[in-house]
A and B are shown apart, each in its own frame.
Chain A
Amino acid sequence: MGSIHLKNIFKSFGPTRVLKNVSLEINDGEFTALVGPSGCGKSTLLRILAGLEDLDNGTVSIDGRDVSGVRASDRNLSMVFQSYALYPHLTVRENIAVPLRMRQLNPSQRLPLIGSMITPATAKKEITDKINTATDMLDIGHLLDRKPGQLSGGQRQRVALGRALVRDPEAFLLDEPLSNLDAKLRVQTRAEITQLHRQLDATFVYVTHDQVEAMTMADRIAVMMDGEILQYDTPENIYSKPASIHVAEFIGSPKINIFPVELISPDQGTRFQIGVRPEYLKQKNGKFRLKAVISHLENLGPEIQVQFTLPGIDTLFHTRLDPKSAGSLTIGSTTQFGFDEVDCHLFNDRGVRLSPHKTRQFFKTLNDST
């Protein structure tokens, strides 16, 4: 098992700078999610870690060993690809056996026909045992003799997982493994991968664009945007203490509400932005009240998602209400939404989160002036 340390990674594709000074430390046994919108460089970072992509500058260390110049096959990492990348001409059993055969048998033992004859029975048994352990874990024992073309998307995904965890690598790298599955299967597999992580107690690096996957699965999340890591923290902290407006807006659905405010002191005006998560906006309640015009309602059953506008501001804001209390709302009607100091995230005009001290100061000034 291994810890991973990425230090000052730079990468460009031609004139496009994909990664700009990215550093990341992942502890042994940790489940880290790299999350960000498409094109943010998260997959490139994972491929650099895997060794499938060269880096322009920086170092990659696994378990304290600098592997920057080491080729992918010698880094002892396992990877699950978005496309699964199963070998279509091999059966499930053979697919899962490939990493074992490549690493445990010598070239002559891998020859067709003759290879099987000169491979010692113990080596064969070891491979069979490991395949069985992996397939039992993933419940794909009944598929062993089929080819990938005869499997459903979910089954292929499991085989790809099986091929990754059949051996004992330093870390598992997963590149959007769930994005080709339907919604229901995705939720189910999400839980299973988390469970596998607990069971194996191995280092997992998981790339996704889906913030829900990142939030639900990871021990720590690295939020990436434009080739930089904006914040690297636990899911709780990412959600409750976003380092910037970008992070706050990316994590959480519906999106966080950002209200621009200007604090006018005697000599000058200072612009701030107040972020309030939809679930903390209360109807006709809270210290700070806003007059809202309802523009859209979505009844999801357990809750109603409300979109509203504020007079003079074009953007749409969101909140979630209990169906009981929202019963009277109709599209076009006017109501009040309010929030309290403790539920606010305060950002300066550049989008950076203010320190708790500065936040307190802000509200003190605000309270004094009203």
Chain B
Amino acid sequence: MTAALNHQRQTLSAWIMLSPALILMMVILILPILIAFGLSFTDYGLGVKSVDFVGLENYERIFTRSTFKKMFTATVLYVIVVVPFSVGLGLGAALLIQSVRRGREFYKTIYFLPVMASLLAMAIVWEFMLHPTIGVLNETLQGGCDSAIIHGLLTGSWFGADPLASWYGDQCANGFPLWLGDRDYALWTICFIGIWQSFGFNMVLYLAGLTSVPRDLYHAAEMDGASSAWERFRLITWPMLGPTTVFVVTITVIRSFQVFDTVEAIFPDSGGPGKTAYVMMFAIYEKGIKQNLLGTGAAITVIFLMFVIVVTLIQRWFIDRKTHYT
């Protein structure tokens, strides 16, 4: 009798103590998601008098209209390009920094600077550098065309190849790309800026991961006959960095899905020449905020959320288990 009462009382106090956290989670996490989910089935807009339930119309539009097709293409390409390079360069930089005796702090700071810098400001700098006529990049490339040595080496004409057959030779003759203004280059340039901006962060995570690899393992590997750096990397560094890699890849994927500021800073009106850099976050912003089509914006948000959830689930259920060894 008293035991049951006691138990009841404990359950009650447990709920009371849990309630602040539960309420906060509901209000700032669950509820907004549910509202967005609800809005995605309407034609709601801020200040609009009548709101109609439109069913799956928003989603249908997203999956049929060519604009949204471009959105998916740009987003997926961006993620596919940025993630491997950003993770690979992060790991490479971390390994190199780990191996130098002096100047670690110097290199760490240099590689980490782009992460700390405001991307909006950096985007302007990149815009200047990549400017087709007065940008430093095209000027440098153009300068190379005039130098016989560089032209010979880069086009392969020194080795008997046709200079016009190579990319560099062709561009020398016909003018260098417009980069950000060029349909064929805009997204890749955005990707490049994304990689440049994000790999420093991955490097820091990998550096932290590297410090937790026991030194004894390297000694054991040496005694076992793993003498080359590659063998040591394969036998110890890479597997021991497994948990770090899973984490780094996950957050890089999510951050790449979220890319917005570069596009907004460089192509504020259009989303790139021919909408080639029309990424998801930019689409949400354009539809939901600029054009006040909150229903459509909410629908894209829900799809975006699905992507993120899938990535997180993959991390939690498939890979995490394989990379934690204890």
Contacts and interface: CB of A to CB of B under 8 A. Distances in A.
Interface of A: 47, 50-52, 71-74, 77-79, 81, 83, 85-89, 98-99, 102-103, 107, 110, 147-149, 163
A77 B220 CA distance: 11
Contacts of B221: 98
Nearest to A148: B325
Contact of A73 (B214, B225, B325): B225
Contacts of A71: 222, 227
B144 interface: no
A89 B225 contact: no
Given A85-B216, A89-B242, A72 B222 contact: yes
17 contacts: A50-B223, A51-B222, A52-B219, A71-B222, A71-B227, A73-B224, A77-B223, A79-B223, A81-B220, A85-B217, A85-B219, A87-B239, A88-B326, A89-B325, A98-B235, A110-B231, A149-B325
Nearest to A149: B326
Nearest to A150: B326
Contacts of B227: 71, 73-74
B319 interface: no
B213 to A, nearest CB: 10
Contacts of B223: 50, 52, 72-73, 77-79, 99
B226 interface: yes
Nearest to A169: B223
Nearest to B324: A149
Chain B contact-residue range equals: 20 to 34
A83 B242 CA distance: 21
A50 B219 CA distance: 10
B220 A85 contact: yes
Closest 5 CB pairs of A and B: A102-B225, A85-B220, A88-B325, A149-B326, A85-B216
Contacts of B89: none
B326 A87 contact: no
Contacts of A110: 231
Nearest to A73: B227
B217 A102 contact: no
A185 B22 CA distance: 50
Contacts of B204: none
A51 B224 CA distance: 12
B224 A102 contact: yes
B236 interface: yes
Nearest to A76: B225
B74 interface: no
Contacts of B231: 102, 107, 110
B225 A99 contact: yes
Given A89-B240, A148-B325, A149-B325, A79 B220 contact: yes
Given A88-B240, A110-B231, 14 more contacts: A50-B219, A52-B223, A72-B219, A74-B227, A79-B219, A85-B214, A85-B220, A88-B326, A89-B240, A98-B221, A98-B226, A98-B235, A99-B224, A107-B231
Nearest to A160: B220
Nearest to A74: B227
Most buried by B among A47, A52, A89, A149: A89
Interface in B285-326: 325-326
Contacts of A107: 231
A5 B226 CA distance: 25
A73 B218 CA distance: 11
B236 A87 contact: yes
Nearest to B227: A73
Nearest to B217: A85
Interface in B174-233: 214, 216-217, 219-227, 231
